[in-house]
Structure formats: C-alpha cells, structure tokens
Structure 1
Amino acid sequence: MKSRKVRDLVIVDINEKERMVIACDSSGSIGNKRYDLLQVEPFITGKYTVRVGLLEILCSGAEVITIVDNVCAEMEPTGREIIRGINSELKLAKIDDVPLTGSTEENFEVFATGVGITVIGIIDKDKLKVNNIKSNSVIYSIGIPKVGDEIDFYNDNDIFGYETLYDIKDLEGVYEIVPVGSKGILYEAIGLATNNGKKFIQNENLNVDIKRSCGPATVVIVAIDKSLEDYIKGIKNSCKIGEII
C-alpha cells in the first residue's frame, strides 16, 4: 500500500478505489490536575482535542471509521471524563457508532493531563478533497481565531461549526476546506496553495488576524470558485483573505 503526507493528513491507498485518511492531535497541560496550565474539566480536554482530528477528516470528505485516544492519565476519573468529552463531540458532529480504542496510565501517578488522539477515515478516491484545486480560486476564512480560555467551551457561536461544514462541503465549486490550528490562517493558506502547485495572493485590509493561533481549529479556510462568493459571504464570521492563482 502506498501512503503520503499532505498537510496534517496521512493518506493511504487501500486499493484502486479507496483511500484511508489519518489525522491526529495532542493536548498537554490542559485539564484539572495540579500542574495543568489551563484549568478546565477533562471533559473539555477530550472534546476539543478530538475536534481537531474530526474536522481534518470530515473536511477531506472522508467518513470517520474509528478513533484512538491515548490518555496520559488514569482512567478514573480523568480518562472517563476525557472519553465522555470525545463522545459529546462525536454527537455534536452527528457521528454515530464509531468504535473508540486507546489506553490510560495506570502504573504511575500523573500530575498534568495529556492526551493524544488519532482519527481514521475512509473515502473513495474520486471524492477526496485534498490537493483538489484545479483552477484559480478565492480563499475565505470562516470563524474567529481563538485559543485557550478565549473560547466559550460550552457554546461558542464565533468558532467554525459542524453545521456550517455540512452546509458547504458538498457544494459544487467548493474545492478544499482546511482546518486552521496553532500556525494561523496565513500559514495554512500558503500551504494550501503550495500543495496545489499554485500561489497565494493575500488581500489587504483584512478584518481577521491571519497570523494568530486558531487553537483547536476554531477557523477553517475554504477554496472556492468565484461563483460561490455571495453564498460564502453570507456565512457568519467569514472573511475573504485572498486568492490562489
């Protein structure tokens, strides 16, 4: 089987028709243990760590088939609450009956929370939206860059959401959707252009900070045909950041 890395994804050729898509993310010092720097419930740790991998897989067009959670803490109570957060996010993303597997640390006492999550999806080759830009495209960001306790962990309507993803991902003229994390919008836009053998041209006078961390994928960038601009402009917290030529 052939495999390749594109952005934060590993894509594996299963056969002539199907591809496996793999994404991962990690979290450290976010939880309610003694040395955690951001004090939140472990439920929140699980919820927002899995969000990143979920969006990577869903934005590629793939269907999530399994999730691996490696919890660097004990099962009770930390691991159980992290897993509850993962399941909560899956429900929010309208994903059902996906098996979870993983491990916890039961040999040593842990003083700071850590978790690594891998999300695995599968898709038909001709439906994969990775390196999919065939012509000049307009680039929009959707969502507001936030990190840490800037996020309303239970109900933040400023960040990119699953409902918006499902509204746009299958539209004709939506070429690629890329989640943005700690490296910021500009980094992902340049990478998107480079991976497609093209060049990113930035707009001036933007009303969004394109170099700021977007934390747990609070923003995506979307490459679209110009015919879709009016539709994308109507989405809350969307901003035209440039073009790919």
Structure 2
Amino acid sequence: MRHAVSLGGGLWMGMDNSAGIGEKPQDIIQAPNKLVSYMAARVALLELWCAGAEPNTILLTNFTGESAWQDYEKGIQQVFDEIETPLPPLAGSTESNIETLQSGLAVQLIGRITQDIDTCGDWYLIGSPLVGQAVLERADEVVSLGELQKARQSGAISYVHPCGSGGVTKELERLGIVASVEVPEGSAGPSTCVLVRSSLEEVELRKRFTAPVLKLG
C-alpha cells in the first residue's frame, strides 16, 4: 500500500507535506501557494488510490500563515475538480502565533476502501520523474489525475502505485519488479509519475494519457 496508513475499519489515510516551497522571500523554491497545496493533495490522493480507497475527509496543517490558507484550499479544490469529485469536508489548523520565515504545510486525506486491489495486466510507467523547478517547466510530463481517474473508472488500469522522492527504481524494487527496459532516473518529487497495471496494449494506453507511457516488460 506504499505509504498509506490503515486506520482500521476499512479506513485509510494518505498524506504529504512540503517545506521551503512557496511565496515567502526565504523559500528555497518560489512557487504559488495554490500549486504547492495542489501537489501535496495529489500525492495524498494517489496514496489512497494505491490502497483502493477514495477520500471522504481532508485535514490541512498550515505552517505558512493565515494569508496562505485560501490559496492552499484552492489548490486542494483543483485536485477534486480534476477528478470531477465534490470536495470532501476540509478541516485544519494554521500556525498564527509564530511568523515563520519559510512556507510549510501538510495535507492528509482520509478515505474508505471502495475496491479490491487487482494486480492483473502488464506494468507501465506513466509520466516522468520530476522535482523542483522541473515540475513547472515540464508540466506536460506530469501524469494527469483526471486521466488517471477516467482510466481507473473505465477499467483501463487496475492498480495505481505512485512514485516519490526515491524515484522509479526504488518503487520497482519495493514491488519486486524487474523492468526489461531502461527506466528514467531521478526523484519523482510530488508523484509526477505512477506505476500502473493494465491489460491494454501500449498503443491503446498511450491514447488515454498526455504524459509519456512506458511499458516495463
């Protein structure tokens, strides 16, 4: 289930965080707050999908300050707009006593198992491993949540496994997969690429995604 945590009773939690990325002068990477929360929420969502769960509650921890809350909420809303799903109830907390020098936030999605994990089909990599500024500069290589959702709902893919800072190779090792082709190296940052299983031929799967599609074996 990668990093999703079982809460018991069929409930799971996916989460992600970031620090030093945002709109404050001392942030290491300058990026709109809306984009930062969007990326954190997409990672948390992909972790839930990996467990076969759908989100029904959102928790937002905001270390940046009160002025960032609205944009953070907009970024999370964008995730659910992309998958054409109503925004679940959102609650959270903001650090308002201490003015931090750099931005920081954490997003947690809690959801319930809605489907059994089906691992039939061939393994594919969808998207490219990107991190930092490359996420902004090569946005067309980031796997689309909307396209993933449609592929899941249509049965075109049967399993989604997000890649993270350890890169594609680490996730292949975690799953015990030996790829028969060369896989791209580097951190996948905010899960800019995913491993999926599909019974479709590569040419058919490519039609469903804007980001690169690579058959692994």
Quickly name the TM-score band, shorter chain normalised: 0.7 to 0.9
Shift of 1:149: 1.4
Which position in structure 2 is the counterpart of 1:80? 70
Distance 1:173 1:83, change over 3 A: closer
Find 2:134's aligned residue among 150, 159, 165: 150
State the secondary structure of the residue aligned to 1:151: helix
RMSD: 2.2
1 CA distance for matches of 2:144 and 2:52?
Answer: 16
Separation in structure 2 between the aligned mates of residue 191 and residue 168 of structure 1, nearest angstrom = 24
What is the one-letter code of the residue matched to 2:4?
L
Distance 1:113 1:173, change over 3 A: closer
Amino acid aligned to 1:191: R
Per-residue CA deviations over 1:3-61 (Å, capped at 9, x if unaligned) read: xxx311112441xxxx1121110100001113210011212211111111112223443
13, 26, 40: which one aligns with 2:31 = 40
Question: 2:125, 2:196 within 8 Å by CA — same for their partners in 1?
Answer: yes
Q: Does 1:58 align with 2:49?
A: yes
TM-score, with length taken from structure 2:
0.88
**In 2, Cα distance between equivalents of 1:82 and 1:163:** 20
Q: CA deviation at 1:173?
A: 7.4
Q: Map Cα deviations across residues 52-80 of structure 1 (whole Å, 9 max, x no partner).
A: 111222344322101101011221x1222
Report the equivalent of 1:96. 86
User: What SS does the corresponding residue of 1:152 show, helix, strand or coil?
Assistant: helix
User: In the TM superposition, what is the alpha-carbon distance from 1:163 to its structure 2 partner?
Assistant: 2.6
| TM-aligned CA distance change 1:68 to 1:202, over 3 Å | same
- Whether 1:240 aligns to 2:200 is no
1:152 aligned partner, one-letter code: L
Tell me by how many angstroms 1:229 deviates. Answer: 4.2
Which one has a larger percent strand, Structure 1 or Structure 2?
1
Aligned position for 1:202: 179
SS of structure 1 residue aligned to 2:24: coil
Residue 3 of structure 1 aligns with which residue? none
Question: Against the structure 1 CA distance between its residues 13 and 78, is the aligned structure 2 distance closer, same or farther, given a 3 Å change threshold?
Answer: closer
8 Å CA contact 2:2, 2:50 repeated in 1 = no
Aligned match of 1:197: none
Please tell me whether residue 220 in structure 1 is matched to residue 197 in structure 2: no
Q: Which residue of 2 aligns with 1:196?
A: none
- Percent of aligned positions with the same letter in both sequences? 27
Aligned positions of 1:135-214 closer than 5 A:
137-152=121-136, 156-172=139-155, 174-193=157-176, 200-204=177-181, 206=182, 208-209=183-184, 211-214=185-188
- Give per-residue Cα distances to partners, 1:131-167, cap 9 Å, x unaligned: x43x6x52110012211111238x9332111232123
SS in 2 for 1:102: strand
CA contact (8 A) 2:17 2:107 kept: yes
Cα distance in 2 for partners of 1:97, 1:151 equals: 25
Bigger Rg, structure 1 or 2: 1
Q: Distance in 1 between matches of 2:116 and 2:6?
A: 10
